[in-house]
Amino acid sequence: MKIVRPSVKLVHSTPFPETIVEEMGRVCYQSEGKKGGEFTSMLIKRGHESVLEHVSAGFRIVTDRGVTHELVRHRIASFSQESTRYCDYTGERFGGDLSFIEPPGLEGGESSRRGWSSAVSYAEEVYRALRTSGVSPQIARAVLPNSLKAEIGMTANAREWRHFLKLRLSASAHPQMREVAEMIRANLYIWYPAAFDEFRL
């Protein structure tokens, strides 16, 4: 059994987003004046965020299976998710070990951490036994917990990423989702500062 940390990698993004948004926004206004980031800020202040849909960014996200179930609820996005139907976690490609992400909130005591570790170890043991007995990965996966490490690719336009951050950086968001959202936020700000300035720490 391996314990891994959540991570986020920016895989692709529209180059020169401020230039593209300005160019497309000028179709609406047929105007000159504010340039680049100033133009984006003006659009956001006016609530004219549809122009931000002309640019997008995509991430490869490593998190647990529970968080991926929350991510795919963002319907204005594209997803490519690791398939537990086809991935045989007992195979060489995975080093023969299942990987899990330890949830936050186990700091309450060593017994909490031991309980979680015992549960995922047992799930791994049963998964291996099922695979050894000839059960296919798509059936054996039924015993795998939400803590299973999962990878998902997510692409969204800048407007949807702003919506995502408003929801997922909230204090009421799941702690693991907030952790992923923080990593995404940092990347988005570097990519397109004018569109994500309000989310800057």
Q: Helix 158-168 vs helix 175-191: angle between axes, to the nearest 10 degrees?
A: 140
168 is an active site residue: yes
Nearest to 74, CA basis, from 192, 173, 194, 189: 173
Max CA-CA distance within the chain?
Answer: 70
What is the secondary structure of 139-176 as a DSSP string? HHGGG--TTBEEEEEEEEEHHHHHHHHHHHTSTTS-HH
CB 154 within 8 A of CB 77: yes
Q: Of residues 65, 162, 168, 185, which has the active-site annotation?
A: 168
Q: What is the DSSP letter of 76?
A: S
Residue 27: φ, ψ to 5°: -60, -40
Catalytic site residues? 168
